[in-house]
Chains A and B, each alone.
Chain A
């Protein structure tokens, strides 16, 4: 296979991966943020304490987190068909990716928001602020550097998942590596895919770290910005599909 043959395949796969990851991240963040906040607010001693709701949400998130993505994807097929009218293609892959990403991001949000000093919440309560004010003016802005780090982790995890989604017709880089690298023994193309993924993940990580750090060190706040520990655990996952070839 020559470069001129590979190039259109690669660029199409890249754009498919980008589409899948972009939309699913958007949905995961939009839904995971309120869910993560609710996990904190409804907990014992929280502003909206509701133990039953907390247990229910916690359980849903746990199930969503612990289910292997490939099973989630298959289990969601009828739901995916109901939403997008099909179970094949990039748009169809966004549905399980988003649903897998929501509980993932929600847990990260929960951890970040829990780290906000309770004294700040109390100060705003003493000013006469209501719960919504506290969420908007304290919990979210104060945990923003950590939330951005969580978003970076989510994007990288979703790139890993998107490789799996690709194998069942979602397209993208994972699909390319399996179809050409594994089934047609095009080792060269497979390695290029791996390289593209590695570069993409490094760039995303760098951008995320930079943004989190910039916000964190605002006003010369001392101490290092929160590190992303999930990256190392997730990276082989993303490349794993390629290595299987």
Chain B
């Protein structure tokens, strides 16, 4: 639904070039919620703004719903008619809501419809319907200043949906909200994704957001996508930073000559009594340092951190046994610890 290829954005300021995007290839499938996560300055914001060409990419292409937007952009800084039409079919919600304070809630939702040239009656019918959808039917005549942050973002979402978009871009939509409100806004996005078949591309710096709503995710660092895939693919990738950050298990090594393993269970493997088998077969004592079961992207996942006596070299055979059982094993070493800190 959204494809970027070789997307590069270089900002020029005071004679210095700053590369915000460095050849980003992103592929968002129709009907999925795709999260791009990264620290501030990683280029997430440039990426999402390049998707509807609020920001002109220096090179590379952006295709949304089969339409090459970069080809529509023209050369000048101003958006031509075709690009403006394409934009009207892409909804966008913002971190700071960006509602017009001089208009009522209903008039804010009607604004995109005014731009599309809809009649007054049609506008008000549509706007009231959307406000009902986001649960704010009673606030139609209020001004944005009278609403709470979560309510403002609901208005922002209703407004973004006014043009019947197939794609919704969310630029840190929950970053200015408290955890409770964040959950309800994410739930709303999830519902809209499922009810309307809306494709959602969201950027965030909060791992919880990805965990709560995303089908797929990408990790951005220094303008590049360093990891991407569906959540289950990521969790099945040994050494995945995103997987480790999405589903952290804690527990410190108790001594120097110990081997620490992160065991990930999903599907069939989750029901096997592998730990007691391991203990009996190899006659080793296993300590469990930490364990958790969680739902990530709608999948039940279990993770356990085990400690085996002896160094890694002494435990090659038992680790092989675990892998044979279809479990995903990550040996926790120096490198993995660093990765975890980096993803915070």
Contacts and interface: CB of A to CB of B under 8 A. Distances in A.
Interface stretch (A2-10, A137-145, A236-244): A137-145
A141 B100 contact: yes
Interface in B70-94: 77-79, 84-88, 90, 92, 94
A103 B79 CA distance: 30
B144 interface: yes
A127 B143 contact: no
Report whether over half of chain A's contact residues are helix, strand or loop; otherwise say mixed. Answer: helix
Interface string B87-116: 110101010101011111000000110111
B78 A142 contact: no
A40 to B, nearest CB: 15
A111 to B, nearest CB: 18
Size class of the A contact interface (CB-based, 8 Å): 20 to 34
B79 A127 contact: no
Interface residues of B, number: 33
Contacts, number: 80
A138 to B, nearest CB: 7
Nearest to B49: A122
Given A131-B78, A137-B111, A222-B145, A125 B87 contact: yes
A242 to B, nearest CB: 40
A232 interface: no
Nearest to A122: B54
B101 A142 contact: yes
Interface in A187-221: 215, 218-221
A27 interface: no
A133 interface: yes
A126 B96 CA distance: 15
B107 to A, nearest CB: 10
B144 A219 contact: yes
A124 B54 contact: no
Contacts of A138: 100
B52 interface: yes
B158 to A, nearest CB: 13
Nearest to A133: B115
Nearest to A47: B78
Interface of A: 47-49, 117, 119-120, 122-131, 133, 137-138, 141-142, 144, 215, 218-222
